Structure 1
Amino acid sequence: MKIRQIQQKIKDSELTSFLFSSRPNVFYLTGFNSTNAFVLLTEKEKFFITDSRYFEGAKEKLKDWNLILLGEGGKKQLDHLAEILNGLGGQRIGFEEDGVTVSFYKKLQEKLSCRLEGFSGFINEFRASKTEEEINIIKTAVKKTDIVFRKIIEYIPQAKNELDIRRQIINEIFLNGGTGESFPAIVASGENSAVPHHETSDGEIKKDAPLLIDMGMVYRGYCSDFTRTVFIGKVDEEIKKIYSIVKEAHIKAVEAVKAGIPVSEVDKAARKVIEKYGYGEYFIHSTGHGVGIEIHEPPRISVHSEELLPENAVITIEPGIYIPAKGGVRLENIVVARKNGAEVLTETSLDPVVL
C-alpha cells in the first residue's frame, strides 16, 4: 500500500498527523475490516486504534503497526482518542471532514490541545490509481461476476419476478466466493428498464420486453460492477435499435480510454455516438465512475469533469438510453486505464442475448 507516499503528503501539508476514520479508508490503509477503528499516520509512524472486539484480530493481521486498544482501562473512547492525539504533540491534525459527524468533530476538538483541520478526499488520488495487487483482486471479482451472470441467464426462464432474480443473484454471489453485493442488484423488466436506478420489485418478468440487470459482488474487500440488457421474447424494434447504439457508444468510450487524457473525453466519446443517432436527451447519466473498495469512487467519468484519467484507474464504462414508459438499455464493463489504452476486465460479450 502507498503508506509512505501518504505520509509524505501529510508532511507536505504541514500536518503533524492525520486521523482516518471512514471505514473504506481504514480498510484501504490496513486491509483490516472494523466498524470502529481509526488509523493515525504521522510522518514516520502508523497507528491502528480499535476497540476490544477487533483488537485480537488486529494483532494477528497488523504485525507491523503500532496497535492501541481504544478504551483501555475503562476510559471513555472519545476521551482516550483525545489523549492519544494530545500525546503526539504538534499543532495541526488532519481529519476526514467528509467522514465524521459535526457532533464528533466538536466533541473531539474541545478535548484537544491542538487544532483539527478538515480535508475532503485527502487520499483520493492514491485510491484512484490502483496497485497491481488491487487490480488483480478486482479482476478476479469481475471474472466471478461474469460467472454469476451466466448462471442468471440460465435461471431467468423460471423466474417468478424481479426480486426472484435478485435473490438468485445474491445466492450465486456467495456460491462463487463473494462476501455480498457491492450494491443492491437492479433487476428491471419492461418499462422499468427505462429507470436507470429502478428499485427491484415483485413486478413480473414481462414477455417480449427488455430485462436490465445491474449487479456486482464484493470480493476480498473490493467491488465489481456489471450491467447487461437482455431480450425476453420478441422485442420492440426501437429497443433493438437503441441496443446497437448503446453498444457502439460503449465501444467508442472504451477506445477513448488512456491514462493521462481528460476524463471528459471518455464521456464525450460515448455521448457523441448517442447524440449522432438523435437520442442524446435519453442518455441521462455520466458514462462511468471509478470502482474499488467502494462501488463509486473517483474519478467520475463525466463530460463536466476537469480531471485527468489516472494511470491504473479502474473505471466502469456504462452508457445507456432510456425511453420513458417503453424501456431502456445499459451495457457496462470494467476497464483499467493503462498508458497504451484500456484493459477490459469484463469478458461477457456485448452481443444481445435473446431468451
Structure 2
Amino acid sequence: MNRLQALTTTLPERGVDGILVSHIRNVRYLSGFTGSSAYLLLGPSGRFFITDFRYQEQARAEVSGFDIAIVNDDVSDFLVEKARTSGMHVLGVESSVSYAFYKGLLRKGVRIKALTGFVEDIRKTKEQREIRTIGLAIERAEKAFSLTRPFIRPGASELQVAGMLEENLKKTGCRAAAFDIIVAAGKNGSMPHARPTGNKIRPGDLVVIDWGGEADGYFSDMTRTLLMAGRDISRKREIYEIVLQANREAIGSVSGGVHARTVDKTARDVIKKAGYGEYFGHGTGHGVGLEVHELPRISRIGRETIRPGMVFTIEPGIYLPGTGGVRIEDMVLAKTTGCSVLTSLNKTLEILH
C-alpha cells in the first residue's frame, strides 16, 4: 500500500470524506513536491494538488498522480468548490492550519473536523529509501565534523567553530545545516539550546556541539561533547561517563514493541542513580526525517510504542549551571529485535590539548 492509499483508506474511521493537507513537509511526503507553498485535497474520488503561479513549472515536473491546479486568487474558494463537487462533505484539516484559514473555510459552508497527526503517523515509520537518504545526511554531517574537529581547541570561539562546521556541511553536499548549530563551551554548555557566542574555548572547558546534515530534504541530528585539557577536570570526566552510560543503556533498550517511555526511563534512571537526575530535564530523543524534530517522542510523556523502521535520536545529558554540560546524541533505527546505531563518530571521552 502506498502513502496515499494508506491515508485515504483511513478516511471513514476518521469520520471525514476528504482531507486537506497544508503542512508543507506533509505535502512533500505525499506528492514529492519540493517547493514551499502548496496544498493537497484528497478524497476517494479525487486528488488535487494546488499551488500558485510561482511553482507551476516545478509542480508539473515533480508531481504525478494528482490533478494540478494553479490558483492565484483565494485558494479557499477553489478548495470549497472542489470539496463539494468531489463529495467531500466533511473535510479533515491538519492542526497546523491557521485559525484565520480555518474560520474562512467555515464561513464558506465547509463542515470541518480537526485531525492531529494523520500524516505524521504514517511518517513515523521510514521506508528503505528514506532510511538510505537519512544515512547520507548522517554521513555528510559526520564528515563535516571530522573536517572541523582539528580546529576545536582553546582560543577558537564558539562562533568560529559553528561557522566552520556549517561551511563544511555545505562542502559535503548539504544545502544547509539542518538547524542552527549549537557550540556551547564552558558555562554556556549548561544551556541545552545555547546559541554560539564570541566567547573563546578555554583549557578545562567542556564543549557541546549539536549539529545536523541534510540530503534530499531529509535531516540528521547528532551531538558530541569534547573536553579540553586543563586543571580540575575530574568532575567533568565523571559526568561525561555517566551520560555515556545513559546513552548506551538507552540504545540497548530500543526494540520493536518497547514503549517510548521505557527507553526514556532507562536513560533517566542511570543519571538519577548517579545523583544528577535534576540536571537532565529534556526528553531522551525524538524522531528525525523530513523534519529535525518529529514523531516518535522518546520522553516521559511519549505516547508511542516503538515500531521497526522508526528512526530517532538518543540524547541524554547533564547540565550543571556554572560548570557546563554534556550531551551525547546518536541516531538509531528500530528493528523487530533491537536497533541499529546509524551514527558512527567516536563517543568515548576525548581530552583535547
TM over 0.5: yes
Other structure's SS at 1:182 match: coil
Relative to structure 2, which stretch is displaced further, 133-142 or 154-163? 154-163
Alignment map for 1:207-222 (pairs within 5 Å): 207-222=203-218
Asked whether the 8 Å contact 2:265–2:300 carries over to 1, the reply is yes
Deviation digits for residues 179-213 of structure 1 (CA, Å, limit 9, x no counterpart): 11221111000011111111211221222211110
**Which residue of 1 is the match for residue 259 of structure 2?**
262
User: How far has the Cα of 1:47 moved from its partner?
Assistant: 1.8
Q: How many correspondences in the alignment?
A: 350
**Which residue of 2 is the match for residue 283 of structure 1?**
280
Deviation digits for residues 228-254 of structure 1 (CA, Å, limit 9, x no counterpart): 000122261101011111111100000
**Which residue of 2 is the match for residue 77 of structure 1?**
75
AA partner of residue 12 (structure 1): E
Asked whether the 8 Å contact 2:211–2:221 carries over to 1, the reply is yes
Asked whether the 8 Å contact 2:154–2:200 carries over to 1, the reply is no
Name stretches of at least 5 consecutive residues in structure 1 with no aligned partner.
none
Partner Cα distance (1:18, 1:49) in 2: 13
Other structure's SS at 1:181 match: coil
Partner Cα distance (2:167, 2:207) in 1: 19
AA partner of residue 86 (structure 1): R
Other structure's SS at 2:122 match: helix
User: Structure 1 residue 297 and structure 2 residue 298: aligned?
Assistant: no
Other structure's SS at 2:97 match: coil
User: How far has the Cα of 1:323 moved from its partner?
Assistant: 1.0
AA partner of residue 249 (structure 1): A
User: How far has the Cα of 1:353 moved from its partner?
Assistant: 2.1
Aligned residues: percent identity? 35
User: Structure 1 residue 237 and structure 2 residue 230: aligned?
Assistant: no
Partner Cα distance (1:296, 1:67) in 2: 30
Asked whether the 8 Å contact 2:219–2:289 carries over to 1, the reply is yes
Other structure's SS at 1:343 match: strand
User: Structure 1 residue 171 and structure 2 residue 167: aligned?
Assistant: yes
TM-score normalised by length of structure 2: 0.95
Partner Cα distance (1:6, 1:231) in 2: 48
**Which residue of 2 is the match for residue 148 of structure 1?**
144
**Which residue of 1 is the match for residue 268 of structure 2?**
271
User: How far has the Cα of 1:159 moved from its partner?
Assistant: 6.4
TM-score normalised by length of structure 1: 0.94
User: How far has the Cα of 1:352 moved from its partner?
Assistant: 1.6
Give 4+ residue runs of structure 1 displaced > 6 Å after superposition: none
Partner Cα distance (1:283, 1:40) in 2: 43
User: Structure 1 residue 202 and structure 2 residue 205: aligned?
Assistant: no
Other structure's SS at 1:300 match: strand
Partner Cα distance (2:81, 2:121) in 1: 31
Residue 41 to residue 159, structure 1, CA distance change in 2 (3 Å): farther
2:185 to 149, 171, 189: 189
Asked whether the 8 Å contact 1:11–1:43 carries over to 2, the reply is no
Name stretches of at least 5 consecutive residues in structure 2 with no aligned partner.
none
